[in-house]
Chains A and B, each alone.
Chain A
């Protein structure tokens, strides 16, 4: 599985092989840049590269 962070520009901004690290990175981006909540999303793909989940956004309500 690969966990990819994408911007709405269509460009990848990070990728992980660990879901919790990917979700934490997404959360940190939105915490540092609340306006990015709708602009950055996580996609999950299987080992063949097929997208199986996403876009997953960090919920603005979760921003501390």
Chain B
């Protein structure tokens, strides 16, 4: 946390404690001390080609009425730690940004969901490594959750705190293997 205080330039350590969940990994701390590589270098290293626009537009919406989306998870119960883990975004899981995540932190900090269960099932059947169950999330306004249609039709990026997303889990069903 002292490293984070140093990186963020906070005089008061109590201010830094607000960001306790986001303390940098050793690698991030090294980057912070050494100076970040140039945008071009990072783009080439992490999957964004020189022709890729550095910024994309996202139209995010607050959840103002119950909104149903489906998420591929591992585990059959909301009490299963793997289900909770499955509601974490890539940044929270400690992954360095890749692809458009480099230029768009929103993508790095969102989770992928789908408007229709069959779409989620189809992906899980094709790539079982992602998960073996589909969680139905009934997103409710009181949790401060936001979402945006991103990627292919039917894909929705959701931003929310994992435990509050967990509270939105209405059902978890196994994926039938073809």
B157 closest partner in A (C-beta):
A12
Nearest Cβ on chain B to A26's Cβ, whole angstroms: 7
1/0 contact trace for B111-153 toward A, CB 8 Å?
1100000010011001101110000000000000000001111
Q: How far is the CA of A15 from the CA of B48 in the complex (A)?
A: 11
Enumerate chain B residues within 8 angstroms of A41, measured Cβ to Cβ: 127
A15 touching B100 by the CB < 8 A rule? yes
Q: Say whether, besides A11-B111, A29-B46, A2 and B152 are in contact (CB < 8 Å).
A: yes
Range for the number of chain A residues in contact with chain B: 20 to 34
**Residue with the highest number of chain B CB atoms closer than 10 Å, among A25, A47, A55:** A25
Are B153 and A49 within 8 A (Cβ)? yes
Interface residues in chain A, defined as those with a beta carbon under 8 Å from any beta carbon in chain B: 2, 4-15, 21, 24-26, 28-29, 32-33, 36, 38, 40-41, 43, 45, 47-51, 54-55
Nearest residue, chain B, Cβ from A48:
B153
Known A8-B127, A21-B49, A33-B98; contact A15-B93, beta-carbon cutoff 8 A: no
Cβ–Cβ < 8 Å partners of B33 in chain A: none
Residues of B within 8 A of A2 (CB): 151-153
CB distance from B99 to the nearest CB of A (A): 3
Q: What residue of chain A has the Cβ atom nearest to residue B73's Cβ?
A: A10
